[in-house]
Amino acid sequence: MDVRTKPREIGRKSLDVEALKRSFVEWLVYSVGKDLRSATRRDWFATAALAVRDRVVDRWMDTTRAVYAQDAKRVYYLSMEFLVGRLLTNSLANLGIMDACRVAADGIGVRLDDVIEVEPDPALGNGGLGRLAACFLDSMATHHLPGFGYGIRYEYGLFEQRFEHGWQVEYPDNWLRFGNPWEFPRPEVLYPIQFYGRVEEVRDGSGRKSYRWADTEKVFAMAFDTPVVGFGGQTINTLRLWSARATSDFNFGHFNEGDYLKAVEQKVLSENLSRVLYPNDATEVGRELRFKQEYFFTSASIQDVLRRYGQYHSSFDQLPEKAAIQLNDTHPAIGIAELMRLLVDQHGLEWEHAWDITTRTFSYTNHTLLPEALEAWPVRLVERVLPRHMQIIYEVNARFLQRAKRSTGDLARIQRLSLIDEHGDRRVRMGNMAFLGSHKVNGVSALHTDLMKQTVFADLHQEFPDRIVNKTNGITPRRWLHQANPPLARLISSRIGQSWITDLELLADLKPKADDETFQEEFRRAKRQNKKRLAAYIARHVQVDVNVDSLFDVQVKRIHEYKRQLLNLLQTVALYNDIRDNPTKEWVPVTKIFAGKAAPSYQMAKLIIKLINDVATVINQDPVVRGALKVVMLPNYNVTQAEVIMPAADLSEQISTAGMEASGTGNMKLALNGALTIGTLDGANVEIREHVGADNIFIFGLTADEVRELRQGGAFHPREVIATNPRLKRALDMIASGVFSPDDPQRFRPIVESLYNTDHFLVTADFEEYCNTHAAAVELYRDRTGWTRRAILNTASVGWFSADRTVKEYASEIWGVTPVLPGSAEPAEAAPPLPDASREGGSRGDAPKDGGDLEAAE
Ligand code: 26W
């Protein structure tokens, strides 16, 4: 008789209250090593996380086994950033055990809400791009798509922002200090990553030329896996983050002190690769370490993809049928050259064959058109750090340009198509690289996709007219409504049931209730409850007392000139003056709420933060406007803070210069939670208007076409615009003369001067229309019924902006993947190992046999 127990037969951990209680106590005592008396809130967090994690693991293994068993096509989402947010609430909500857990915790004298609050928010991203990656992971798991996230396990996430005398000051985000209960270290999943060295040409017996990358510096990438819990807990996918490890801890050959310390120093240096996230979200940094980070995680991920594929396949022919690799912006675009290198140099494939496999495997998402954000690495840097990749890039380019020259003699066009920018110091255009190496390239909103075709990729689009497609962004309704907004989630479910959580367009069933008085009343009550929560948060963090019945006017996002926090602030100052001029009028009370970080080297953005804080100080202390206007700037905007803000907003500020915000996703979160949008026709605002209807959104300002014409025409003179607008002029004069900075009247000169002289982002051009539109919105707020009706219609109309819809579009139109339901299929047969030419002498010998995928059990 077989006495071994198969994993599948071991009982799953129970989800009931008693079992949870037992689990808590066991974890606390035996793993955390504390008793009930001495346990701190952090101990309880670790305990709860580990107990919940147990409930995830069984299902995680089922998912992994099912995907292996069917040898299903997998999606690999390569992203420098994953802004996942806290995971305890997310796991509890998605597993459906929030209440059971609360009761179990109560039963042993612990308040679950206190425990939830001590979890650090993993800030492994800057903003939109990183949060989108996290929403996609949630949607893929929820809809049973075999999706893997690959990224970097930064030891330090995005800096913590504090205000000191109103200035942004950055502090390190040491998020791993107390350990991370969610991750599974996989010390056996280790890949060598090479840098520098030189390329040797070698010829085999038959005279065939090949290339050897020699004398390299090596570092290892070690995997850490975090389970991604889909809603309902059926499918659990994997987020695999790479951490740098020195290849040998100590060189035992050297025992004298100098060499010993040198060896340790070397170890620290090589492990710097995964030390810290670069805090720039729209300016290319051009630093060698950043480039090495990009290659580091991309190479490890691709090696891992090939290792997994190789277990079941004996040639690479089917790779594009088994793996889709999505490049989240150009940060992992070097992966195209890396896959070519592995296929050609290590596995001996012919160039054309390898290129065909590569382009059918990769696809690329563009997230920004800002010229300063487009990656272009100096050829000299690429040549030095990755010499073989530089050769491959040249070869790709030569073949492509040869083809292009057949259809055009236009030299300027050839130059624009080239992977190499020859102006000034020569650079590799990573956008062009990503485009050429992919079968599909997508924009993140309809407008952005059109602009891609007209601007950065105009020439490439002509060459490959079917390659660019649109995939408008979306957000996960689990985190951004079900989890963050319990009052509204409950109200919705009481009327239309719970299916909206995984099928958000069902919210449309609420539309008939927009005029229903009882529903309106309950909708308002939910909003008020959320506003109270935010008011308490504001009081706790910035000691400002805000009126819960005022209009909560919210602009939360990275601080950037193109996002135009300045436009909002100038209108705030103008409104302040209006109120002071006419203090007895019955003003609709307004609370302006800002939050967002500035890149540490972005001086103008930091000065804007200081200005917001200084304006807030003056306005909030002025007895004349008390009750009518308050200004709040919350420090350290992150996912956790957003979860408090989004549900409490009445008005959503989406006021970027048209043509500059690729999509925006905060706009979707706010509308879903019943805020009305005031915004320009930019990014996804355009589509939000189509969905909610022009009557339920406040649109103003220049269109993208008008912005282009105005800038090109040379007829825009901000000084003249300011001269003709007394409210604007007065606001600027006040800022310029030190009304908000009596201690340093000159402080805000750079801001005022840039508006007078260039105003690149057309703040002055849109000011008047913005003010009028804002006034109309505030006026509408007096009409409680009219406002609530529109708020309900917003929630009911934005179901299309679910990341579930987005991810399903990618799945069918780009990735070619279909859902895999954890069940019992027969395992696919393992293939003989891939022919491994191992031309690089032994580097593949380091690759793990067991990829830590939990599949080995079966
Ligand atoms: C190399 C420096 C750098 C780093 C990050 C340049 C650019 C980036 C990102 C592409 C910036 C980003 O997060 N873009 C945002 O992506 C969101 C998701 O698609 C969009 O909703 C936002 O509009 C876009 O700004």
| Residue list, ligand 1 pocket, CB within 6 Å | 126-129, 132, 280-282, 284, 329, 367-368, 373, 375, 444, 473, 661-665, 683
pLDDT at residue number 823: 76
Ligand 1 pocket test, candidate residues 82, 129, 289, 448, most atoms within 8 A of CB: 129
User: Is residue 839 very low, low, confident or very high in pLDDT (cuts 50, 70, 90)?
Assistant: very low
Task: Name 298's Cβ contacts closer than 8 Å, sequence gap at least 6.
Answer: 78, 332, 334, 335, 338
Q: Whose CA is nearest to atom 21 of ligand 1?
A: 664
CA distance 264 to 252: 11
User: Is residue 266 very low, low, confident or very high in pLDDT (cuts 50, 70, 90)?
Assistant: confident
What size, in residues, is the chain?
Answer: 858
- 281 alpha carbon – ligand 1 mean position (Å): 6
Q: Which atom of ligand 1 is nearest to the CA of 331?
A: 1
One-character DSSP codes across 332-377: TTHHHHHHHHIIIIIT---HHHHHHHHHHHEEEE-----GGGS-EE
Q: Which two tokens stand for residue 303?
A: 């090696």
Q: Whose CA is nearest to atom 7 of ligand 1?
A: 282
Mean pLDDT for the stretch of residues 548-562 = 98
Percentage of the chain with pLDDT > 70?
94
- 814 alpha carbon – ligand 1 mean position (Å): 21
- 429 alpha carbon – ligand 1 mean position (Å): 17
Q: Whose CA is nearest to atom 1 of ligand 1?
A: 284
- 685 alpha carbon – ligand 1 mean position (Å): 16
Name the H helices within 182-286: 257-271
C-alpha dist (Å) from residue 687 to 442, 603, 664, 692, 706 = 16, 33, 11, 9, 19
Catalytic residues: 367, 557-558, 563, 665, 669
CA distance 398 to 417: 11
pLDDT at residue number 262: 80
Judged against a pLDDT cut of 90, whether residue 628 lies above it is answered with yes
Ligand 1 pocket test, candidate residues 289, 334, 368, most atoms within 8 A of CB: 368
pLDDT at residue number 855: 47
Count CB-CB contacts under 10 A for residue 627.
12
Q: Whose CA is nearest to atom 8 of ligand 1?
A: 281
Mean pLDDT for the stretch of residues 725-730 = 98
Mean pLDDT for the stretch of residues 8-13 = 61
Ligand 1 pocket test, candidate residues 124, 132, 158, 329, most atoms within 8 A of CB: 329
Residue with tokens 């389970």: 227
CA distance 293 to 302: 14
Sign of CA dihedral 146, 151, 157, 159: negative
pLDDT digits (tens, 9 = 90+) for 267-294: 899 999 999 999 998 888 879 999 999 9
- 480 alpha carbon – ligand 1 mean position (Å): 20
DSSP 3-state of 699: strand
Mean pLDDT for the stretch of residues 563-588 = 98
pLDDT at residue number 562: 98
Q: What is the DSSP letter of 86?
A: -
User: Rounded to the nearest 5°, which phi and psi values hold at 744?
Assistant: -160, 80
CA distance 352 to 357: 9
Are 477 and 504 a contacting pair, CB within 8 Å? yes
Helix 351-361 to helix 334-341 angle (10° resolution) is 140
| Segments making up each domain of the chain, as ranges | 1-69+86-120, 70-85+121-472+806-820+827-855, 477-801
pLDDT at residue number 261: 81
pLDDT digits (tens, 9 = 90+) for 213-235: 999 999 999 999 999 999 999 99
pLDDT at residue number 827: 52
Mean pLDDT for the stretch of residues 590-601 = 98
Ligand 1 pocket test, candidate residues 367, 480, 663, 665, most atoms within 8 A of CB: 367
Q: Which two tokens stand for residue 505?
A: 């367009």
Q: Which atom of ligand 1 is nearest to the CA of 448?
A: 23
**Average pLDDT of every residue of the chain:** 94
pLDDT digits (tens, 9 = 90+) for 78-94: 999 999 999 999 999 99
Judged against a pLDDT cut of 90, whether residue 642 lies above it is answered with yes
Q: Whose CA is nearest to atom 15 of ligand 1?
A: 128
Q: What is the CATH superfamily name and number for domain 477-801?
A: Glycogen Phosphorylase B; (3.40.50.2000)
Q: What is the DSSP letter of 801?
A: G
User: Rounded to the nearest 5°, which phi and psi values hold at 71?
Assistant: 45, 50
Q: Which atom of ligand 1 is nearest to the CA of 129?
A: 13
- 81 alpha carbon – ligand 1 mean position (Å): 10
Mean pLDDT for the stretch of residues 628-651 = 98
Mean pLDDT for the stretch of residues 605-625 = 98
CA distance 452 to 329: 13
Judged against a pLDDT cut of 50, whether residue 837 lies above it is answered with no
pLDDT digits (tens, 9 = 90+) for 312-324: 999 999 999 999 9
Q: Which two tokens stand for residue 508?
A: 């449309």
Task: Name 335's Cβ contacts closer than 8 Å, sequence gap at least 6.
Answer: 78, 298, 299, 301, 302, 325, 327, 362
Listed range (172-181, 204-213, 742-751) with the worst mean pLDDT: 204-213
Q: Whose CA is nearest to atom 11 of ligand 1?
A: 281
Task: Confirm whether 70-85+121-472+806-820+827-855 and 477-801 share one CATH topology.
Answer: yes
Looking at CATH, the fold of the domain delimited by 70-85+121-472+806-820+827-855 is given as: Rossmann fold (3.40.50)
Q: Whose CA is nearest to atom 17 of ligand 1?
A: 128
- 282 alpha carbon – ligand 1 mean position (Å): 6
Q: Whose CA is nearest to atom 2 of ligand 1?
A: 284
Mean pLDDT for the stretch of residues 199-206 = 92
pLDDT at residue number 822: 85
User: Rounded to the nearest 5°, which phi and psi values hold at 284?
Assistant: -70, 135
User: Is residue 845 very low, low, confident or very high in pLDDT (cuts 50, 70, 90)?
Assistant: very low
5 or 544: which carries more pLDDT confidence?
A: 544
- 94 alpha carbon – ligand 1 mean position (Å): 28
C-alpha dist (Å) from residue 234 to 99, 150, 856 = 19, 21, 21
Judged against a pLDDT cut of 90, whether residue 833 lies above it is answered with no
Count CB-CB contacts under 10 A for residue 828.
15
User: Is residue 4 very low, low, confident or very high in pLDDT (cuts 50, 70, 90)?
Assistant: low
Mean pLDDT for the stretch of residues 808-817 = 98
Enter the pTM of the model: 0.96
Percentage of the chain with pLDDT > 90?
89
pLDDT digits (tens, 9 = 90+) for 452-500: 999 999 999 999 999 999 999 999 999 999 999 999 999 999 999 999 9
Judged against a pLDDT cut of 70, whether residue 842 lies above it is answered with no
Residue with tokens 């952090």: 42
pLDDT at residue number 15: 85
pLDDT digits (tens, 9 = 90+) for 699-725: 999 999 999 999 999 899 999 999 999
Mean pLDDT for the stretch of residues 565-587 = 98
Q: What is the DSSP letter of 830?
A: P
